[in-house]
Structure 1
Amino acid sequence: MRRGLCTKGVALWLVVWLALVGMSGGVWAQEVSGPEDSAAVAASINYEVWNITAERAETSIEAGKASDQALETLRGQIAEWREKFLVAQGANKQRIATIQNQLAALGPVPETGTEAADIAIRRTDLNTQLARLQAPVSAAEEAYSRANGIITEIDRIIRERQANALISIGPSPLNPAYWNSSVDELSAALSGLWNEFDANRKSEVRQAAFRQNMPITVAFALTGFVLLLRGRWWAALLGLRVHDRDLRGRDVWHFMISLGKVLVPVAGLVLLTQAVLSSGFVGFKGSTLVTSIPQWGTNLLIVRWLSDRLFPDGSLPTPFSVAPEHRAEVRRYATALAVFVVLADVARQLSVVGNFSPSTDAVIGFPLVLLTGLVLFRTGQFLLAQIDLGATPATEDLNYRYRLARLVARAAVVVAVVGPLLWAVGYRNASEALIYPSVTTLAVLGMVVVLQRLVSDLYALVTGRDQAEPEALLPVLVSFALTLAAVPFLALVWGARVTDLTEIWSRFREGFSVGDTRISPTDFLMFAVVFGIGYMMTRLIQGALRTSILPKTKIDPGGQNAIVSGLGYVGIFVSGLVSITSAGIDLSSIAIVAGALSVGIGFGLQNIVSNFVSGIILLIERPVSEGDWIEVGGTMGYVRDISVRSTRIETFDRSDVIIPNSDLISGTVTNYTHGNTLGRVIVPVGVAYGTDTRKVEALLREIGEAHPMALANPAPQIYFRAFGADSLDFEIRVILRDVNWSLTVKSDLNHEIAKRFAEEGIEIPFAQRDVWLRNPEVLRGAPTAAPQAAPEADDIPDKPETTDDGEIP
């Protein structure tokens, strides 16, 4: 199986990508067309021609004898029809919706009895209009379904053929019987090229044309040789000069100049190719090879440029931990891989020119596959050794990159062994589909790494930093986008067809259905744009209210915050409804989904909904506002933020406590500063027995009234509370202007009490206790009794005698 797409190289990737973007852009333009365009497309469709095309395609599919190229051409034609049918499905959409609303306004047809004549006539007229407007839509839907089925069948046939080709076994290159014939066919192909060139060289007509075009040919040839031989050297010299200078954005400018190592020599190759073709001596077969020279050269130059960027000389930074003395070695491996891939493509071109047999293709291609596998194996081993020897990455990002590089290197080693073995036993297509795409994959991954480094350098240049911050969000997002953009390239490299990618895009544009409504990417785009505009307007209005309007009113800060927060919730809700309506999504079509969601809310989300509703109640009733000193559930502190789900309280030790809003609504909450900051502080004090109580009362009143935070009305109150166990107990009760200063006021009053009592000789007693012992004689000690004398030996009775059986007689 010919897999030329996998070996085209990096040079054609950009072209393919631009083609995909252009094609998707055209499709997108069709998708976002208005109702008038949809109606025009629906009116322009010739269904007779479509039926002929569809029948021809179905006949080819049933026969199963068409070539892959013929099937691809037929598929392209069917895909164009399908695009027209997709656009035509939106014809008369607004008018159909209007008529359906009119019919709904008339109400259902009565089941019994007769309907008013004018209403019946109007209903019949509306149904007739609705049927006429829906006719092209129904026809487009039916044709779209038929076209979609045909495309699916064609894709299935092509994929089956590709799979069969991969597992098919052919001649083994190790069979000596094929060697002589392969050499003969190769020699015949080269001789044919030379004979064609020699015949043209001897032709007088060709010679006359050459003499006529000689100035142009010589100019192209000389310029091409100069650019090819000196282009890389010029770019390298200029790059070194830029890198040695202390220039802002030095890495970016060095990258741009390094592109000259590819562009200048490629221009030289193009000029040389034009010089050869303009000579007129190259025939038809030779021109096939000559026109491919710029492509082959571009592949070599791009791989060499990538290796220079990934593994530069000297102490320049590199994305991988490869020592400077080993970087030249890995660059040689990369160049060798590119050379062998290009030679494999040259062999394919010679096979087409010389019409080689399968055995000749197997024999000629095997040495190239074997050499590619050897270099790929050595490259994988080298990268594994360098990664293992490198230092442990300091960041998780570098650690991830090294782990991925180690995985790729191991896969390269496995492919390098399996690929040549498959070719040797006869599975040439499977081997070719494995080893050359693996080499190209390495180039694609290297390109992604280089572009990610460029994004980081551009970010550093734009932000004015010497080096981009590793945690910056924008470079990370762009790098992730580059990684995703590489997926289509990798898919093409590993055998995917361009039509496979376009089919994925078509499925994505087709969207999905919710009830009777089809949601497409344009609906998502419209939803995002309208919702974004509504959200920004809501934030702007909130900012204007918070900073300009509300501060000039007499509304307290808690009320201002409630108004701003409530406006934010209403604005987001309205923005969501407007964006859904603007996207053309019928809310009635998602009633089932809403019902299922309500069941889920009732069971699994009831706490969240309860907190949300409690937050709305807090904003409306405002029993608690920001800045209030509250106590709830044993937690005391200041309210710092009231959100839609919870309230944040800052305690006096500066820690944040998150309280669910439902606790503030259903629980007991003590608000010390709600409405005003007035509050009472109580300071207890005790004096010794025998002190003049009236004097103490007057002195405490004087102390309380003298404090600046105490209100004169009501005045501080002094109470003689009780005769305590150790003192006469008094209390000072003072109403403060700001209860938030209660601890400070208590401290001030205690200091003043201690000072004034010391000046007046008033004693503040401490606790005293008298201890009575009920049995004091125990502590004095009781007389000790004399010890009893030990018994004499004679007084000890003899041991009783026992019988033989152990019993006492």
Structure 2
Amino acid sequence: MRWFRLLLLALVLGAAPAAVLTLLPVAAAAQQAVEEPDYDDWETDAKLAEAALAAKAASNQAFEILREKLVGWRAKFSAAQSANAAQIDTVKDQIAALGPAPSEEKPDAPEIATRRKALNDQLSQLQAPGLEAEEARSRADGLIRQIDAVIRARQASELLRLSPTPVNPGNWPAGFAVLTEGLKTLLSETREAWQNPVRRTELQNNLPVILLYLAIAGVLMLRGPQFMERLVTRIATGDSIRRRNIAAAILSLGQVVVPVGGMVLLVLAIENTSMTGTRSGALVGALPRAAFLFFTTRWIGSWLFRVEGGAFLTERPLEARFHVNMIALMLALEALRTAFITEVRPPLSMAAQAVWAAPFVCIVAVFLFRLGQLIRPRSGMIAVTDGGVEFRKRILRLVGTAVIVVSVLAPALALIGYVAAANALIWPTAKSLGLMGLILLLQRFVSDVYLVVTGRGEEGREALFPVLTGFALTLLALPVFALIWGARVADLSEAWTRFSQGITMGGIRLSPTVMITFLLIFLIGFMITRMTQAALKAAVLPRTRLDKGVQNALISGIGYVGIFLAALVAITGAGIDLSSLAIVAGALSVGIGFGLQNIVSNFVAGIILLIERPISEGDMIDVNGQFGTVKGISVRSTWIETFDRTDVIVPNADLVSGVVTNLTRGNLTGRLIVPVGVAYGSDTRRVQAILLEIAEAQPLVMVDPAPSVQFVALGADSLNFEIRAILSDVNYKLDVQTEILHEVTERFAAEGIEIPFAQRDLWIRNPEALVGSQSVPRRSGPKQAEAKPSSQGPADSFLVHNDPDGDGGDGDDL
């Protein structure tokens, strides 16, 4: 593995420069290959757009076509802005090489002035195409903005248009006429097609294919959904709950694919009959879209509101599924209704449109209202202990409230006459609910896969990866939400164009391309740094004579230098010019220096520790009352593990400027002092000899210098001795001390040497005051209490004897 890392590092270090050198000619060639725009054609299109905007008579479709051409011109101008970039940089470097710009005090020499003028003229010529492209791009961008403003104004006006109220019975005949005329049109188109001999012949020739399409479509549409549902139910009742959920989720897509595929085959069969006309063709062409809306919404509802798992969203999953199915049916009918009236010539009257649209809005609003009530948790259900569950409950409450409000407001607008506004509210709300349900299902599916891969329990659903997946899915769905709520594809492409151009901050333009380039180069540099550190740590430094502290210092230094170089190369490679931020950075550095002076001091102290190495990993130190073993030294702090297995983080400044006791620096030897006391009357020389034998018998006590026993004091309660020994490994100091005390206790017991404890004599002047005058009569004689050591108690315990009358302790004595 070590040699593999070294080989991989060598390949990366060797291939990276080669790849860069290979890409440079390609980039230069691509830059030279920028096509110069045809400004004559551009002028024609620009004047046409300006005339259409001035008249405002063009339709929205015509404006969209014109806008698409302007977007193409803008892209060409954006590419042309970088024309002659390499030559411009070269000429600028040549001008800079001539020295600073001349002034009245310091004019250029004649030769240099001539050369400077020639280079400036050349620079102006090279910059002219880019400046012209920039001016044309600004003009195209302004025209695009004007077209977007006109289209948005028209959309807003359409939404606020007041139609005749559908509640008025006088408007009903117009809607009924649309239905009857539409049916007549369908019949007439079918009759005309049947009377056409060519179409009848084509029908006869395609009859086998039509029958095959109809048979397959009938099986897929009539039997397919039930078969897929039974299959999914069978898989969902398997042994492994997680794997069966994943398999059932994948297989359940057949509940959408199979019937929609059958509908597509049915449409193909109808189209092969050659019996469709303009209106019937539009209606038939809308069938796949209607089927997709119906079966997709139905599938989302069946998975969101399952009986075994639907309680997460509502307490009544079966009722919620019913309302979702009804909403799916209304979405399909709305798609067919829209297709049915699209091809009407002339367009429907406002009264007919209101009569046709209002019933659909009111019906779907009823189901949405009840669904919003079902998914909206009650107020008492929100206060839960789990933060994630509480957040989801609040989101559900917000969504449910919004659905209820829309389901009340939309029918009211439709009945008043604002049919366009009602449609713009009710149908996007239903589709948005479906999209949110789809996001939730995808997030749940990814969570199931994550649990299977990691082998974690249900608590893994609250891990970081599933949460980030849901957040990413929500971000990806934002454009779809925008399209659902009426945004144009052109609006999204324009927003992406603005986003791609980036933002300007302090003279620096930050765009997604620049940021991605910066991140990629920095990640490559970071990986090379880490691989270099791993190779040095595993294969190179262990074979040197450097101690562990120097090795760690070298590896840490290479890491910081590598990260700094990676950031520098990434900034340069991404084309980020930080010169405009130099003054701001200089001003901020003063304030940052004051605010981070402790961090800087710790950083410098860490470097000193890594270089001078007064302490190393594994040393036993005492600093600021913290006694333990050094487990790690970083640039900012040092990690100490105490004997009670707690971690203490000590700033490096304290280790450099404070007093540090290092018990194991250089070697592991250390002195051990064990105090021992014996009773008065003991043979002191015998005691000294016994203690010396015990010390010399310890395996960790060094022979040179030899241990010693000192008679140090005549104490108040004992004769005091000290065992002094040098240990070969001070880490076992407490173990050696424990063994010595065990040996001392056993030898003293065998030799009859007493280990004393404290004794005290207590005299009481007035014992009668302690027991009261009634229980202790006044008598003459000495009042003395004698305290003697207790045979059962510890060394400091004693017994109090009171015999004031001298009778040997009768009943009135204390």
TM-score clears 0.5:
yes
- Give the number of the structure with larger relative contact order, counting CA–CA contacts within 8 Å between residues 6 or more apart: 1
Cα distance in 2, alignment partners of residues 563 and 442 from structure 1: 58
Matched, 1:626 2:617: yes
- Match of 2:447, SS state, is helix
1:204-223 Cα deviation digits (max 9, x unpaired)? 34334433433333333333
**Length-normalised TM-score, structure 1:** 0.84
1:710-753 Cα deviation digits (max 9, x unpaired)? 22223334444444444444433322212222222222333334
How many positions carry a matched residue from both structures? 747
Partner residue, 2:640: 649
Q: 1:778 to 1:207 in 2, by over 3 A?
A: closer
What is the 5 A alignment of 1:216-235? Answer: 216-235=209-228
Cα shift at 1:78: 1.8
Partner residue, 2:37: 45
**Of 279, 284, 288, the match for 1:285:** 279
Partner residue, 1:190: 183
Matched, 1:303 2:294: no
Partner residue, 1:802: none
Matched, 1:100 2:92: yes
Cα distance in 2, alignment partners of residues 34 and 505 from structure 1: 24
1:311-338 Cα deviation digits (max 9, x unpaired)? 34xx654473556xx5443333222212
1:223-258 Cα deviation digits (max 9, x unpaired)? 333332222233234434544555893333323332
Cα distance in 1, alignment partners of residues 451 and 754 from structure 2: 74
Matched, 1:447 2:438: yes
| Native 8 Å contact 1:566 1:619 kept in 2 | no
Cα shift at 1:491: 1.2
1:95-120 Cα deviation digits (max 9, x unpaired)? 44444344434431343244345544
**Length-normalised TM-score, structure 2:** 0.83
Q: 1:726 to 1:318 in 2, by over 3 A?
A: same
What is the 5 A alignment of 1:428-467? Answer: 428-460=419-451, 462=453
Cα distance in 1, alignment partners of residues 372 and 354 from structure 2: 26
Cα distance in 2, alignment partners of residues 389 and 236 from structure 1: 36
Q: 1:625 to 1:405 in 2, by over 3 A?
A: same
| Native 8 Å contact 1:337 1:372 kept in 2 | yes
Cα distance in 2, alignment partners of residues 461 and 234 from structure 1: 27
Cα distance in 1, alignment partners of residues 539 and 199 from structure 2: 86
1:417-449 Cα deviation digits (max 9, x unpaired)? 111001111221211111111111111112112
**Of 131, 138, 144, the match for 1:138:** 131
- Match of 2:343, SS state, is helix
Q: 1:78 to 1:763 in 2, by over 3 A?
A: same
Cα distance in 2, alignment partners of residues 206 and 777 from structure 1: 137
After the TM superposition, which of the residue ranges 297-306 and 255-264 deviates more from structure 2?
255-264
Q: 1:89 to 1:220 in 2, by over 3 A?
A: same
Where does structure 1 lack aligned partners over 5 or more consecutive residues?
1-31, 785-809
Look up the equivalent residue of 1:224 and give its one-letter code: A
Cα shift at 1:668: 2.2
Q: 1:518 to 1:554 in 2, by over 3 A?
A: same
| Native 8 Å contact 1:232 1:261 kept in 2 | yes
Partner residue, 1:78: 70
After the TM superposition, which of the residue ranges 775-784 and 569-578 deviates more from structure 2?
775-784
Cα distance in 2, alignment partners of residues 777 and 298 from structure 1: 107
Matched, 1:149 2:139: no
Partner residue, 1:733: 724
Cα shift at 1:451: 1.8
Q: 1:462 to 1:91 in 2, by over 3 A?
A: farther
Cα distance in 2, alignment partners of residues 259 and 774 from structure 1: 101
Cα distance in 1, alignment partners of residues 202 and 674 from structure 2: 118
Matched, 1:496 2:487: yes
Cα distance in 1, alignment partners of residues 148 and 573 from structure 2: 37
Partner residue, 2:697: 706
| Native 8 Å contact 2:675 2:721 kept in 1 | yes
Partner residue, 1:331: 321
Cα distance in 2, alignment partners of residues 196 and 113 from structure 1: 91
Partner residue, 2:4: none
**Of 528, 531, 534, the match for 2:519:** 528
| Native 8 Å contact 1:321 1:390 kept in 2 | no
- Match of 1:627, SS state, is coil
Matched, 1:541 2:532: yes
- Match of 1:249, SS state, is helix
| Native 8 Å contact 1:310 1:319 kept in 2 | no
After the TM superposition, which of the residue ranges 203-212 and 440-449 deviates more from structure 2?
203-212
**Of 49, 65, 68, the match for 2:57:** 65
After the TM superposition, which of the residue ranges 761-770 and 220-229 deviates more from structure 2?
761-770
Q: 1:755 to 1:262 in 2, by over 3 A?
A: closer
Q: 1:574 to 1:177 in 2, by over 3 A?
A: same
Q: 1:769 to 1:218 in 2, by over 3 A?
A: closer
Across the aligned residues of Structure 1 and Structure 2, the Cα RMSD in angstroms comes to: 3.4
Partner residue, 2:552: 561
Look up the equivalent residue of 1:565 and give its one-letter code: S
| Native 8 Å contact 1:38 1:87 kept in 2 | no
Look up the equivalent residue of 1:211 and give its one-letter code: Q
| Native 8 Å contact 1:321 1:391 kept in 2 | no
After the TM superposition, which of the residue ranges 544-553 and 687-696 deviates more from structure 2?
687-696
| Native 8 Å contact 1:39 1:88 kept in 2 | no
Q: 1:58 to 1:633 in 2, by over 3 A?
A: farther
After the TM superposition, which of the residue ranges 109-118 and 198-207 deviates more from structure 2?
109-118
Cα distance in 2, alignment partners of residues 62 and 39 from structure 1: 39
Cα distance in 1, alignment partners of residues 652 and 269 from structure 2: 82
| Native 8 Å contact 2:451 2:461 kept in 1 | no
- Match of 2:617, SS state, is coil
What is the 5 A alignment of 1:721-760? Answer: 721-760=712-751
Matched, 1:364 2:356: yes
Matched, 1:664 2:658: no
Q: 1:545 to 1:772 in 2, by over 3 A?
A: same
1:293-352 Cα deviation digits (max 9, x unpaired)? 21112211212222222234xx654473556xx544333322221222333333333333
| Native 8 Å contact 1:457 1:467 kept in 2 | no
Matched, 1:511 2:502: yes
Partner residue, 2:46: 54
| Native 8 Å contact 2:290 2:331 kept in 1 | no
Partner residue, 2:365: 373
Cα distance in 1, alignment partners of residues 219 and 717 from structure 2: 112
After the TM superposition, which of the residue ranges 445-454 and 128-137 deviates more from structure 2?
128-137
Partner residue, 2:804: none
Cα distance in 1, alignment partners of residues 536 and 694 from structure 2: 46
**Of 245, 256, 265, the match for 1:251:** 245
Cα shift at 1:356: 0.9
After the TM superposition, which of the residue ranges 164-173 and 291-300 deviates more from structure 2?
164-173
Cα shift at 1:767: 3.9
After the TM superposition, which of the residue ranges 477-486 and 233-242 deviates more from structure 2?
233-242
**Of 310, 325, 333, the match for 1:343:** 333
| Native 8 Å contact 2:382 2:394 kept in 1 | no
Q: 1:468 to 1:40 in 2, by over 3 A?
A: farther
Q: 1:263 to 1:286 in 2, by over 3 A?
A: same
Partner residue, 1:199: 192
Cα distance in 1, alignment partners of residues 766 and 435 from structure 2: 101
Cα distance in 2, alignment partners of residues 366 and 65 from structure 1: 31
Cα distance in 2, alignment partners of residues 380 and 78 from structure 1: 44
| Native 8 Å contact 1:680 1:736 kept in 2 | yes
1:466-493 Cα deviation digits (max 9, x unpaired)? 9794245444433332222222111111
After the TM superposition, which of the residue ranges 356-365 and 344-353 deviates more from structure 2?
344-353
Cα shift at 1:357: 0.4
